[in-house]
Amino acid sequence: MITRDDILKLAKEEYDVCISIYLPTHRMGEEVQQDPIRLKNLLNEAKKRLKDHEVDEQRIEKLLDEPRKLLDKPLFWQHNDKGLALFVSEEQFDYYRIPHSFKERIMVDDHYLITPLIPMISLEGTFCILALSQKKVRLLKCTRASVGEIELEKAPDNLEEFLKYDVNENQLQHHAGQGANAQAIFHGHGGEKDSDTHEVINFLKQVENDVTSILRKRNDPLILAGIDEAVSEYRKVNHYSRLMEQSISGNPDPKTNDEIKNEGWKVIQSYFLKDMYADIERFGDLSGSDKRSNNLTHIVEAAHYGKVDSLFVPIGEHSWGWFDQERDVVHHSPEQNNGEHDLINLAAIKTLTQSGNVYALEKEEMPNQAAIAAIFRYA
């Protein structure tokens, strides 16, 4: 999983030759077998572009040696997500499995292409959902578009299993005839605070210990799903700092993982996107002001000098050209030749590395449906 820090590190890297490769991948089905073939084709295209950049043959072979090794690793291709991003230079070779899809793309330049990764910062953050049920406790790892289960390492995954045994000094002792009132917590009937209810609380404590141990390593926000009584009891024993206040109400048993994920996204999206929504509103409030722009030329120049506070870029779009720093002139080109860069990518890099915010949106969701937009720190 790639993080904001990983993206920021890539944005700061500058080498003589940087190769960025973006490949849509598949997690199952016959198309998995086609993914290494697609990568092979992209590496061949990289070789062609390196030659266009007048890189000699011996250096090209050295650059492409490590990524080519992935072609002969069948197990590697069985564990992919929706996308694979590779970054190659003579100093490093990094790859990341990405939980959202993007267009197939390759770029050879003196810096990396990072704009396809921006949704991981602003739009496609990961979150977890803990579905509390007496039949099956599920810890789900989610993005807006994907969901998978995280196996609990130590806690039993259902109430019946826990009620059969009491862990006391590492000895398992059978408990008979318990659980009727305890199960009321999961059915929403209340119930007295008797010994059975305490058993459920102990069960939730064990689940919480395991879940918190797992999530502290991931640092994802957590949403609870379940009957209100079960959610309330879990909150009382929770020690995880990123537990969301809003939960998914109702018995999760009849729901699929995907259905729970979709409900979770409705809860979490405002949390992930609150800064972006605030900046979109701020962009609108600045109508007529010199503190905002949707002009690519002005934005590229402003980004170069650290003037951009917040940048909005369209997903999957690019624009070629280069910035003449000596003359403060932005040149535009219909295609990438030697010396031309992706100006949208350059603006994103300059903004990120100078502590600005960068948001990636679908074209129709851009402020005023502009091709690019920015809020400046000063006029």
Helix axes 228-237, 195-218, angle to 10 degrees: 70
User: Nearest-CA neighbor of 206 among 135, 158, 140?
Assistant: 158
For residue 88, being part of any structural domain is answered with yes
279 lies in a domain? no
pLDDT at 342: 97
Per-residue pLDDT, averaged over 62-76, amounts to: 96
- Both 149 and 261 in one domain: the answer is yes
**265 and 137, same structural domain?**
yes
CA gap 313, 249 in Å, rounded = 36
The pLDDT tens digits for 193-249 are 444 678 888 899 999 999 999 999 988 999 999 999 999 999 999 999 999 999 999
Tell me the mean pLDDT in the region 63-85. 93
pLDDT over 70 for what percent of the chain? Answer: 91
Q: Would you say residue 161 lies in a domain?
A: yes
CA atoms of 377 and 309, how far apart (whole Å) = 5
Residue 172 has pLDDT above 70, yes or no: no
Residues 163 and 251 in one domain: yes
Rounded-to-integer distance, Cα 323 and Cα 302, Å: 11
- 261/349 same-domain check: no
For residue 37, being part of any structural domain is answered with yes
For residues 123 and 271, is the Cβ–Cβ distance under 8 A?
Answer: no
Q: What is the mean pLDDT of the chain?
A: 89
Of 117, 135, 157, the one marking the end of a domain is 117
Cα 57 from Cα 37, distance rounded (Å): 22
80, 146: one domain:
no
Residue 46 is predicted with a pLDDT of: 97
Total domain count for the chain? 3
CATH number, domain containing residue 194: 3.30.420
Tokens of 44: 């061949």
Q: In the prediction, which pLDDT does 77 show?
A: 93
Query: Does 268 lie in the same domain as 305?
Result: no
**E strands, 193-270, where?**
222-226, 248-249
Residues 113 and 160 reside in one and the same domain: no
Task: Please give the Cα distance from 336 to 324 (Å, whole number).
Answer: 16
Question: Taking residues 60-89, what's their average pLDDT?
Answer: 94
pLDDT tens readout for residues 110-140: 999 999 999 888 655 789 999 999 889 999 9
Count other Cβ atoms within 10 Å, centred on residue 312: 27
Please tell me the predicted confidence (pLDDT) of residue 165.
61
d(CA 20, CA 43): 10
Q: Say yes or no: 250 and 340 in one domain.
A: no
Torsion-angle region of residue 24: left (phi > 0), alpha (psi -120 to 50) or beta? beta
Least confident of 48-57, 158-167, 203-212: 158-167
Which amino acid appears at position 328 of this protein?
Answer: D
The CATH code of the domain that includes 22 is: 3.30.960.10
Residue 142 sits in the same domain as residue 106: no
Both tokens assigned to 276? 């972006």
What pTM does this model have? 0.71
List the domain range (segments joined by +) for residue 10: 1-117
Are 350 and 294 in the same domain? yes
Judgement on whether residues 252 and 167 belong to the same structural domain of the protein: yes
Give the pLDDT confidence of 277-311 residue by residue, as tens digits: 999 999 999 999 999 999 999 999 999 999 999 99
Q: Which of 69, 91, 117 is the last residue of a domain?
A: 117
For 52, residues 6+ apart whose C-beta sits below 8 A from its C-beta are 108, 338
In this structure, the chain runs to a length of: 379
Phi, psi of 357 (to 5 degrees): -100, 140
Count of CA atoms in the C-beta half-sphere (13 A) of 236: 12
Q: What is the CATH number of the domain that holds 315?
A: 3.30.1330.30
> Domain check: are 256 and 301 in the same one?
no
pLDDT at 168: 44
Average pLDDT over residues 4-14: 93
Instruction: Single out the residue in 117, 149, 173 at which a domain terminates.
Output: 117
CA atoms within 13 A on the CB side of 109: 23
Determine the average pLDDT of the residues in 179-202: 60
